[in-house]
Amino acid sequence: MNKLTFCGLLLVVASLTSSCQKEEEITKNPPATKADESTLLGGKATTIEALCEAYFKAHQEEAPNAEKIISVTKEFFTINHQTKEFKNKKPCRIQPIYAYGIDGVAYYEIWFTENNKTPLGWILISATDKDYPLVNFSQGLPYSSRMLTETNQDNKIYRFGVSYYAMEKNGQKVADYGKMPAFIANADRELEGSNSGDSKNPDKNARKSSVEAKEGVDYTAVTGYESLKQVYAKNYYSSKRSIAAQEMKRRLFPTNGHGEAVKKQGANLRTAGEYYYRWVPGYSAYYTQIDPGYRYNYFPCWSGCSNNAWTNIYGWWDANRSKSTLIPTTSTGEASPLYRNTYARQDAIDPIQMYIRAISGTYCGDGTGWTLFSDVYKGVYYAPAKGYGYNFSAWWCNSPGCNVNLANIVTEGIANNYTPVHIGANSHAYVGLGWAQWSDNTDWTWVYCYPGWREDNLDNVWIGWRDLNSATRLDIY
């Protein structure tokens, strides 16, 4: 393998059997681990100060981290108090998260709840200055909660980027959740390319770069869990990430005051900024990937996360913008199906995934479907194949967030046109369904991402644009 790619999903979607003959739901999401939820919450919702007091009383060696946890959490709620997603949530548990390359606790996952029974919503705070003060956040279930039970809470949970968490006991992996990264980029190298096109003016299709990333120079491929531990520790915590982390700390999470510092009449004043939110309206499609060798997928690897993300985007257009031939009507008469969990739905949806796989040049790597960063945008060409006009803009970087155009594409697609955007981050592809930006500042742009692991939004996560590798906006007419 010698080119930089997105890889497919390894872990989450349950295998489908072809033995069932009747029409029934056959794609089953793995249920969250059964546990005493009240025990996992660690008590009823409370203030972050009270939660920290209880936690650090039991973990005194971590007490120096208390001030940062309190300040970032309080600021998060201050700037999100107006949102229906967070205004009724309160902190209920502090979960330490470890990472290779950092001694001691690397992050704290702060769980939220509304009913004192179940966790719903979380933020991830870096315990060090090597990563952003606010790394990710979500309205859904904490990723660590997928592995935790009442009996294994002493095991360590490790984070490997936004898409993958693992639990270890005595240094051995005993559980994981998400999608193991296929590679880790060399942050000191910044290759990028872009493309745009409009079927009304086909001569204007322009690809500004044909450069390809090289393995061993621009990125290092991951060959397994032990390989990931070594590569992650060496490459993730780059000097560029540390500089961006200090900038976020200074401007968004100051020790004193609120929000971003500005100069006015020669004095430094603080503005009471807030996040502006935009959401893609209508019905969302919740398609999952096709298993290796299953029905329409003749390959010995998954259909590919990039191709699945594109199919979900076409599902949205079909269901919400009257593009009635993008997703065929099923044999049972269902138009614009939003799931692929019956044979009739698979018959309509899976050929689309495989068509996009073909035009994107996806190939098999370690059991997953890999698509070159520079070829991810080619999913847009399914639209003209179905007789529709299109225009699109795309940008990719081998090193996360190497160009602000990634943030601009997200803004143009979601905030300005209210349409989903194809997102690449952490060697995984997502559907961008929401947008948040701090007080009109492009530097602080976030995208709300569906990873294609489940048939709901509970694994959706907010990712900052500086962690994006690619973004593609598509309009169909």
What pLDDT score was predicted for residue 261? 54
Please give the distance of CA 140 from its chain centroid, rounded to a whole number: 12
Residue ranges of domains in the chain, CATH in brackets? 37-182+235-253 (3.10.500), 191-220+276-476 (3.90.70)
pLDDT beyond 80 at 413: yes
At residue 130, the pLDDT reads 95
What is the model's pTM? 0.90
Window from 9-18, 75-84, 267-276, 355-364 with minimum mean pLDDT = 9-18
Mean pLDDT of the region 150-166: 95
Q: Which of 261, 270, 257 is nearest to 75 (CA)?
A: 257
* pLDDT tens by residue, 27-57: 434 334 344 444 677 667 889 999 999 999 9
Q: What share of the chain is helix, strand, coil (3-state, %, to 5)?
A: 25, 30, 45
pLDDT of residue 270: 44
- The percent of residues in the chain predicted with pLDDT above 90, rounded, is 65
Q: Mean pLDDT throughout 275-289?
A: 95
Contact 108, 125 (CB under 8 A): yes
Going by C-alpha positions, the residue among 250, 245, 238 that lies closest to residue 127 is: 245
Confidence tier at 204 by pLDDT (50, 70, 90): low
Residue 77 is given by DSSP the state H
Integer Cα distance of 317 and 380 in angstroms: 12
Predicted confidence (pLDDT) at residue 274 exceeds the cutoff of 80: no
Between CA 21 and CA 423 the distance in angstroms is: 36
Q: How far apart are CA 196 and CA 463, in angstroms?
A: 24
Using the predicted structure, report yes or no on whether residue 3 has a pLDDT greater than 50: no
Collapsed DSSP state (helix, strand, coil) of residue 471: strand
Q: Which of 410, 395, 310, 317 is nearest to 356 (CA)?
A: 310
Nearest to 174 by CA among 165, 166, 162, 164: 166
Q: Which pLDDT value is given to residue 344?
A: 97
Q: What is the mean pLDDT of residues 193-198?
A: 92
Nearest to 8 by CA among 294, 345, 327, 326: 294
pLDDT of residue 34: 42
The model's confidence at residue 117, banded by pLDDT at 50, 70 and 90, is confident
Tell me what pLDDT residue 273 has.
62
89: its two tokens: 């949530």
Torsion from C-alpha of 141, 147, 152, 158, nearest 10 degrees:
-100
CA distance 352 to 313: 11
3-state secondary structure (DSSP) of residue 431: strand
Q: What is the pLDDT of residue 259?
A: 67
Rounded CA-CA distance 470/96 in Å is 30
What pLDDT is stored for residue 45 in this prediction? 81
When pLDDT is cut at 50, 70 and 90, the band that residue 25 belongs to is low
**What burial class does residue 251 get, using C-beta atoms within 10 Å of its C-beta: 0-12 exposed, 13-18 middle, 19+ buried?**
middle
Residue 267 has pLDDT above 50, yes or no: no
**CA-based nearest residue to 306, from 52, 9, 105:** 9
